[in-house]
Amino acid sequence: MSGSADRLPRLLSLVPYLMSHPGAQVGEVAAMFGLSEKQLIDDLQLVWMCGLPGHTPGDLIDVSWDGGEILIDNADTIARPLRLGIDEASALLVALRMLAATPQLAEVQGAGDALPRVMAKLEQAAGEGAATVSSQVAVDVDAAPDALPRVREGLTKGRRLSLRYYVPGRDEVTPREVDPMRIVVVDGRAYLEGWCYRAEAMRLFRLDRMLGVDVLDVPADPPAEAEPIDVAQGVFRPSPTDELVELEVSAAGRWVAEYYPCEQVTELGEGRLRVALRARDRDWILKLALRLGDTGRVVAPPAMAEAVRQEAERALALYAHRS
């Protein structure tokens, strides 16, 4: 059962559709909107109680569905389909431009020609404002020059890949053997998703961190438990077993709460936040704390706060030595 947040936009689309398709059948309309017939009838009963102020029979929308045929009248005020606002159209255009930059798009027949046509039609329908805003956003997908062709070759031929992969959290290069499954783009970065035999789990590997890629003469054969990773909320996926760290950030450090999954966010006033998040390892939280500088500090656990203080003092001592 859909909630009210889904229902209102659907009703605003349903009425114009019914006005332009008089006599449409209940089953046909339900299938069109992805509803059961009962859900559609519930929507029609709600439409029947809507209309202009006054609430007399002449003010309300008249709708009937006797015999399975839907007839609607007195709904001219909302008969026009919804139009995208500038912000909505701009967001959609930016997303389409990012899709056009996706490495996998070249493998989809006809997509390279279809996307520019879709964007042109959307810009024309949305108006000059949306086209101007979205054109000011540059979408660039980073990838190592020789990594992408080799990764594509492994995917196309179904072959295992041998990687030399840089791990910034540990500042080291690790050898990996990976059964490639797909290329995904998250936040403008291209990643190889596949089964990593070193980790014995699914992993994402940024293409621009691959220092070497070799296509092995071994068929890719990921195990049955290899499932695609949900990247809808970003790449960083903390584990419940990771250490819980609390930080206080100023208004200039609020981006932490937007960029990383947080278990708790508390407003402290004057734009400051207290955030609790899981640290995948000690080096990662140290780098985050140093990156924040005077816009944030670790407050718990005490051992982590002390480790950050010591690392900051060490970094300052290096600057003093060099000067």
Is 146 among the domain residues? no
Q: Cis ω on the peptide bond leading into residue 301 (within 30° of 0)?
A: yes
User: Which residue, among 188, 227, 179, 233, has the nearest Cα to 207 in the 3D structure?
Assistant: 188
Q: For residue 102, what pLDDT is reported?
A: 57
Rounded to two decimals, the pTM is 0.45
7-33 average pLDDT score = 83
Query: Between 37 and 259, where is the model more confident?
Result: 37
In angstroms, the Cα distances linking 51 to 39, 43, 60, 78 are 20, 14, 4, 9
Is 22 among the domain residues? yes
Domain boundary among 47, 73, 99: 73
Q: How far apart are CA 38 and CA 102, in angstroms?
A: 41
Tens of pLDDT along 118-147? Answer: 777 777 766 665 555 555 555 554 455 678
Query: Between 49 and 314, where is the model more confident?
Result: 314
Tens of pLDDT along 175-225? Answer: 999 999 888 877 667 888 889 998 888 888 888 888 889 999 999 988 888
In 10 A of CB 193, how many CB atoms?
Answer: 19
Which residues, including other chains, have CB under 8 Å from residue 5's CB and lie 6 or more apart?
none
Q: Is the pLDDT score of 277 beyond 80? A: yes
Q: Exposure string (b/e) for 119-129, b if CB count within 10 Å is 16 or more? A: beebbeebeee
> What is the average pLDDT value for the chain, to the nearest integer?
77
Q: Give the residue carrying structure tokens 């069109």.
A: 32
Is 276 among the domain residues? yes
Is 143 among the domain residues? no
Quick one: how far is CA 193 from the chain centroid? 16
Is 53 among the domain residues? yes
Is 30 among the domain residues? yes
Domain ranges, residue 61: 4-73
Answer yes or no: are the C-beta atoms of 263 and 244 closer than 8 Å.
Answer: yes
- The CATH number of whichever domain residue 12 belongs to comes to 1.10.10.10
Within 187-282, strands assigned E span: 189-196, 201-206, 210-219, 243-249, 264-269, 272-279
Query: Which residues share a beta bridge with 176?
Result: 163
Percent of the chain with pLDDT over 70: 73
Q: How far apart are CA 48 and CA 60, in angstroms?
A: 7
Q: How far apart are CA 299 and CA 294, in angstroms?
A: 13
Is 125 among the domain residues? yes
Is 154 among the domain residues? no
Q: For residue 192, what pLDDT is reported?
A: 87
Q: For residue 269, what pLDDT is reported?
A: 83
